[in-house]
Amino acid sequence: MTVQYSQKYENIKNVCLDAEFNTSPICHQILTSGRVPFLPYKRPMTKKGFFKKYEYVYDEYLDIYICPNEKDLHYKTTNREGYRVYESNPEDCEGCPFLSKCTQSKKHVKTIARHVWEADHIRHTGEWHAIYALKRASEKSA
């Protein structure tokens, strides 16, 4: 969002967009402008038969992911693309009954990447449901 548009539409506090706009740079731009992005669910692109990212619980307070076997994946690094990388402890994974649904890593390490501007948590709020219902209703009447 350029400064020109930010000033012109300064009263707009929520931005409701379609799924194709659910990208980290767009979320970053919306969030840094002081607005809240309301974006639809974007289907995960996971290999068939493997756990999806949403099956790993993100704990914002501890900044960890918790796997379906209730083991922690800890923050390791942030890559050049702005993704925070979380990894499991190979000792936790080695004898895990879910290993084949989790990773194909020969080192028995599960890796999850979370972009620093990921705004997926907003989708789980009551406000999101109300605003997105209005968007869907306006699309049907158009």
Q: What is the largest CA-CA distance in the chain?
A: 58
pLDDT of residue 119: 60
Burial of 83 (0-12, 13-18, 19+ CB in 10 A): middle
CA distance readout (Å), 89 to 22, 64, 94: 31, 12, 9
Q: Strands 14-16, 36-38: parallel, antiparallel or unpaired by DSSP? A: parallel
Task: Give CA–CA dist 95/142, Å, rounded.
Answer: 55
Give pLDDT tens digits along the chain (142 positions).
Answer: 445 555 667 788 888 777 777 777 787 788 788 888 777 766 666 788 899 888 999 988 999 999 999 999 999 999 887 788 999 999 999 999 999 999 999 999 999 988 776 666 666 667 767 777 777 777 777 6
Q: Where are the beta strands (DSSP E) in 56-130?
A: 57-59, 64-66, 72-78, 83-88, 111-115
pLDDT of residue 71: 96
